[in-house]
Amino acid sequence: MASKPSETNDAEPPQNYEDLIRLIHDRHDQMSKTYQRISEYLTQNPNEIAVQSVNAIAGHCDIHASSFVRFAQALGYSGFKDLQALFQKRLSTAAPGFEARKKALDSELKLRDDHSELGFLRDLVVRDIASLQGLLDQISAADMASASEMIDKADTVYLVGQLRSEPVVNLMRYILTMLGKRCVFLDTSGGLATHMARTIKPNDVLIAVSFRFYATEVVNIVEECATANVPVIAISDSTLSPLTKSADVLFAVPEHDYTFSRSLAAPMCLAQALLVSVAARLQSDPKDPRIPVATSR
């Protein structure tokens, strides 16, 4: 049986989604492994939590439904439905119409028994559409503006990402190079990435990309840079990512589970949009811009 995140439940449970996520973050390191997995799933899949039954949610995590109930009770709720109500309220106010889109997606996937090559393509495209819609729902205008300004003002942009994350940073390196912005890719192949990162200055910026299961070297580089007062922009898959505590700006890109691979459509789209906004700041002739000038809304 999983131990509780806290020994006592005397305090009032959080009454809104933001306070709940903050409490989960605060207690995460002290939780049992089972409760950490539950916390990560709750944080990474808020829309699914709002619309699915506890049994369905538990099935996705391969954790017994009773553990979700006990988890909610350990946070001060009478049961899982009280905790779930916060996710439902968030969904109804922040992303109207998502429930209908989610049900339509689920219906389409359940009806599909086509396991041909084209069928796999269709499956991935449908899931990517949902991920891209989630990107619009979850990424804030303030974070986009802040990250764009950090990149624009940096003397040098450093980029780090390994394994599945590497294509994202390679795309960013390509675009920044074409823009004439000085950038350095912390290539791990020679074993020097960590040492190169120690040359980054506070007037530079580090862009780190890492998804489950987070590359240890990338996490270490991000933590060292934050300690050295280097601004950090992180692209990851959850607000419970190990990059969160060190990032000045964190983009938590929603993901949908795949049986074999995970798509890069949403993080690639985010990376491109971010650098298009940087390009708008960098263009040399503001009177005749090639890219519409970004304005805060």
24-77 pLDDT, tens digit per residue, is: 988 888 999 999 999 988 887 777 788 888 998 998 888 999 999 999 999 999
**CA 34 – CA 15 distance, rounded (Å):** 24
Per-residue model confidence (pLDDT) at position 8: 46
Alpha helices in the chain (DSSP H): 17-27, 33-44, 46-51, 54-61, 65-74, 80-94, 98-111, 117-138, 141-153, 166-178, 193-197, 216-227, 265-282
- Total-model pTM: 0.68
Beta bridge partners of 183: 157
Mean pLDDT by 10 residues, the chain (297 residues): 46 85 87 91 81 88 92 93 88 54 56 68 78 82 94 96 92 93 88 91 96 85 95 90 90 67 86 93 66 55
Give Cα 88 distance to the centre of its chain.
20
Structure tokens at 270: 């985010």
Per-residue model confidence (pLDDT) at position 256: 60
What's the chain's Rg over C-alpha atoms? 21
Per-residue model confidence (pLDDT) at position 112: 58
